[in-house]
């Protein structure tokens, strides 16, 4: 019922920029927090950045000062502006929604919803 769709991934040279977009759909009433995680080849999935419905943000140390997460609550959309990209940023980026309330006739709470991922490749 509730789905997250990511877009904006691609190939970029080191030092370049990309903007990722994730839109939630499915009769959404509210989402407590939305954010981005990534998984590089041979590594575990890790947190990149999150933002609450009130606008509070949290970033991984490795991306602070380079990435910016923002959110449009009215459209249930979260963005990730990635600047000064490094080859180490290469990964599949996954959108996440935490504490989702959704439903056509009654509200149902979903603890977590994940997107399918979008690939970001940074060349040196």
**pLDDT tens, 22-73?**
999 999 999 999 999 999 999 999 999 999 999 999 999 999 999 999 999 8
pLDDT of residue 89: 98
pLDDT of residue 100: 95
pLDDT of residue 73: 87
Phi-psi region of 65 (alpha: psi -120 to 50; beta: other; left: phi over 0): left
Helices and strands: H and E segment counts in the chain? 0, 11
pLDDT of residue 113: 96
Quick one: pLDDT band at residue 122, thresholds 50, 70, 90?
A: very high
Residue 1 has pLDDT above 90, yes or no: no
**pLDDT tens, 80-97?**
999 999 999 999 999 999
pLDDT of residue 44: 97
d(C-alpha 6, C-alpha 114), whole Å: 10
DSSP codes of every residue in 78-121: EEEEE-S--GGG-EEEEEEEEEEEE-SSS-EEEEEEE---EEEE
């Amino acid at each position: 019922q509730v789905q997250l769709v990511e877009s904006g991934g691609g190939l970029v040279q080191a030092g370049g920029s990309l903007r990722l977009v994730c839109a939630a759909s499915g009769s959404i009433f509210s989402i407590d927090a939305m954010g981005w995680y990534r998984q590089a080849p041979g590594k575990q999935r890790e947190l990149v950045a999150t933002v609450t419905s009130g606008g509070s943000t949290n970033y991984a140390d490795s991306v602070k000062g380079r990435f910016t997460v923002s959110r449009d609550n009215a459209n249930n959309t979260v963005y990730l502006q990635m600047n000064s990209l490094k080859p180490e940023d290469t990964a599949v980026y996954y959108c996440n929604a935490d504490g989702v309330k959704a439903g056509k006739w009654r509200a149902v709470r979903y603890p977590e919803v994940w997107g399918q991922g979008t690939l970001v490749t940074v060349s040196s």
